Each structure stands twice: as structure tokens, then as C-alpha cells.
Amino acid sequence: MTTYPFALFDTWYAEARQTEPNDSNAMTLATVGADGQPSARIVLLKGHGPDGFVFYTNRESRKAQELGEGSKVALLFHWKSLRRQIRIEGTVTFASDAESDAYFATRSRDSQLGAWASDQSRPLDARETFEARYEAMRARFESGDVPRPPHWGGYRVTPARIEFWQDREHRLHERRLFTRAGDGWTEGLLYP
């Protein structure tokens, strides 16, 4: 499989990591619910390559309900400092338990405890309830490592389309579109 769009992504991403002041790995994740209602939110890219783009979340959250295996989604990177964006459309698969465990182990202890304490996306009666749950998790795991909760893990977006958008003067932008074709990719341009 040709990796050309991924090599270009690597180049742009490396530049964004140098110039974007905050969260160069932030990407908008767009999903669609069973009722046809679209929903978008920011998630953080935690891995990428020719096999896809990986992020992690609570698998009982609203987004997870919309991220069933094989679901179609869209990702959007916007790097204002570079005046660039990358749009990705594809399908979702679950990251393996081993991948999810490995990434979870790299998170700060407080983030690990928060993953146990949060019923992400569900109603919360008061902030104090969440803080009490967090403290209960801190007490529960005070003497050892914090394991990955069974309801938390990774997702991989395997792209079918990747568009690289570069701002140009007078709105004469450059748009390069890569479309998956079998084991390879076709490349074309789009009018701005």
C-alpha cells in the first residue's frame, strides 16, 4: 500500500507540533447518532500511520455510542498557525486491548483516576459528586498502579479520503484530495 498521504500528514503534523501554541494533536471528531443527528467534539490524536488515526475515550460515552465498529466518521485538523487543515473521512475499528493498556499506562495518575471516576456524557447532579467519586478512586488505588477501566479504550479511524487544505492569498486555496483505491491511493486537486 502506498503511504504517500501519510508521509504528507507526517510532514504537516511535525510542522504543526512546532508552531501550534496549544494541542497540535487536537482534531474534531464528527459522528452521527442513530437518529441521524450529527455531533462533533474535539479529541486528541494519540497515534497515526498507514493503518489509521487513533484516539482514546470512555466507551460508554455518547461519542462511543455513535462509534460502533464499522461506523463512518470524519476527522478535522485545523492548524491556524500554519493556515492549514486536513479533513479525513473513514471507518472506525477498535484499538486492541494491548494498545489501549499501553497508552493508558502513559497517562498521568490523575487522568487514570478520572477515567474510573467519570460516567462521561451522562448527567451529573453536582460537581461535588464527581469530586467525591474521584477521591474514592484515589483511595481504592492508592497502593498500586491504576489499571485501565474495562469501559475505556482506543478507536482507529481508517481513512477512505484525506484532503489537505492550504490557505492561499485571495482565497485561491490549494486542496489536494487522496482517495483510497484498493491497496493504494489516487490523488487529485479540488477547486477552492
Average pLDDT of the residues of the chain: 94
The residues facing 10 across adjacent strands are none
Domains in the chain with CATH codes: 4-107+150-190 (2.30.110.10)
Q: State how far the Cα of 154 lies from the Cα of 55, in Å rounded to an integer.
A: 6
pLDDT in the model for residue 1: 43
Q: State how far the Cα of 172 lies from the Cα of 170, in Å rounded to an integer.
A: 5
**What's the pTM value of the predicted model, to 2 decimals?**
0.92
Q: Give which of 8, 162, 21, 5 is closest to 79, Cα–Cα.
A: 21
State pLDDT tens for residues 145-168.
999 999 999 999 999 999 999 999
What angle do the packed helices 127-140 and 109-117 form, to 10 degrees? Answer: 120
- Give the residue numbers marked as catalytic: 171
For residues 164 and 12, the answer to whether their CB atoms sit within 8 Å is yes
DSSP letter at 81? T
